[in-house]
């Protein structure tokens, strides 16, 4: 099966002297849903489905990063290893998650977040996203990527444009995640997301974190 490479900008803010493709008009916030998942997690496919529906309902505003990490992501003999540790485990660790699947929305701490962190149960992702989608963003981020298949080189250009000010924040950081769609592999509980089951019985993994460029 053909594997497709996508790029997701997870947090963006740096200074820039000129703009060629980033919007300079004020806009509302986008959503980055980081979902902590694994091939041996029974209810993770249900989380994949919720995340996909959230994206499909807001295709230009919601972006997904599925992070295979933790014990549920440890492969058995002969199975592929989709983990990207220590990146994945570090991101999961700072979220204070208490079970799988769990997810963070913009790494924001909500009233329903777990253990004083940012991780939430899958049933809370939609309402958390709705809260932030209606808020204005102080910065716009534009991204253009080019892949040279002959040299396996990925080049990413990022532009930012501040449309407002930020209170009590003295610095900003940029994180670029590389994710991949259409990765065939095993998955416990695949029946909880039947649309992702392939004709050969394998599971079609999407939005899989592959690398952090920054």
- In percent, the amount of the chain with pLDDT more than 70 equals 91
| Phi (first) and psi of residue 188, to 5 degrees | -65, 140
119-140 confidence digits (pLDDT tens): 999 999 999 999 999 999 999 9
pLDDT grade, residue 19 (50/70/90)? low
- Residue 73 Cα distances to 2, 39, 41, 104, 131, angstroms: 23, 5, 8, 18, 30
- Which of 1-15, 104-118, 167-181, 195-209 is predicted with the least confidence, judged by mean pLDDT? 1-15
The closest of 104, 85, 106 to 95, measured between CA atoms, is 104
Peptide bond into 134 cis (omega under 30): no
pLDDT band at residue 18 using 50, 70 and 90 as cut-offs? low
What does the DSSP 8-state code read for residue 28? B
Phi-psi map region of 47: left, alpha, beta (phi>0 left; psi -120 to 50 alpha): alpha
Q: What residues have CB less than 8 Å from 132, skipping those under 6 apart?
A: 29, 31, 105, 106, 108
Cβ atoms of 35 and 51 closer than 8 Å: yes
* pTM of the entire predicted model: 0.89
**Helix H or strand E encompassing 97:** none
How far is the C-alpha of 82 from the C-alpha of 94, rounded, in Å? 20
């Amino acid at each position: 099966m053909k594997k497709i490479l996508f790029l997701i900008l997870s947090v963006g803010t740096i200074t820039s002297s000129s703009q060629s493709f980033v919007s300079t008009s004020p806009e509302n916030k986008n959503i980055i849903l980081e979902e902590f998942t694994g091939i041996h997690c029974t209810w993770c496919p249900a989380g994949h489905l919720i995340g996909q529906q959230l994206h499909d309902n807001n295709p230009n505003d919601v972006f997904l990063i599925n992070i295979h990490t933790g014990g549920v992501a440890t492969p058995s003999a002969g199975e592929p290893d989709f983990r990207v540790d220590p990146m994945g485990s570090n991101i999961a660790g700072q979220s204070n998650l208490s079970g799988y699947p769990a997810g963070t929305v913009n790494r924001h701490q909500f009233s329903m977040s777990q253990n004083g962190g940012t991780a939430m149960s899958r049933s809370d992702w939609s309402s958390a996203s709705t809260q932030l989608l209606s808020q204005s963003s102080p910065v716009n981020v534009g991204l253009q990527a080019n892949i040279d298949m002959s040299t396996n080189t990925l080049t990413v250009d990022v532009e930012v444009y501040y449309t407002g000010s930020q209170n009590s924040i003295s610095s900003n950081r940029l994180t670029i995640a590389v994710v991949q769609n259409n990765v065939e592999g095993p998955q416990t509980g695949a029946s909880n997301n039947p649309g992702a089951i392939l004709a050969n019985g394998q599971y079609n993994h999407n939005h899989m974190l592959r690398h952090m460029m920054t």
